[in-house]
Structure 1
């Protein structure tokens, strides 16, 4: 599954907040109810694939979908804890949490590792540089770096 875009990351809050609002027990709520609630509000005049957002949240371990139902996980609740005002936009604290828990140590870890390994030290400039051939390749095939490796 592809790494979420910034717009999709902002949608994580909307979907997770909807799950919390609609859940009346530990069983969660219906997936269709979450999609309907999220679809009732449009921001920026563009439509969003809320089912894809639910799948991304599930893949990342923020929610759990089974048999047409969805519930928030402990990790998902931790993400919402960094959003005390229940904003739909991703907060700075949430960005750090996503980077640490989902990208560097989570489901997209192997892609982040591949990117970091593409850098090599330039001792003359006292910095690290990425191979320009790799950069051109990844930008012409962005899903190769953004999609997690299949197990």
Structure 2
């Protein structure tokens, strides 16, 4: 299996590049389907990378990073791993003044804070649903209009 390395230059800023590498097949084969729904973007590794780059350009990368961390968290099988991961997610994204603090209501933040000492696999569900809604309603439509996505579409069409 050959891994391809794809470098896409965004039209307006030639110095801004998205690196999509280490994929068994061309990662941009699905780029047109990303316009169908935010789920299509989030279910594809290349889509996640492109969406993350867009969010980074808007200074809101913490949203997709939190959402992805929650997806990984739900796959945890052991209690010690769950406790460790929950504390990492809390200190990175939820705790007030955390480095990548997400924008959630104070009730949700307080609920997570009060229960972080005994986390469950559902500990971050409310916050994750809120962030997903923000991504879907607010960020995703702008992503579809962005130079990043439009550049990837043009690159895909020119093949």
TM over 0.5: no
- Richer in helix (by share): 2
| TM-score, scaled relative to structure 2 | 0.27
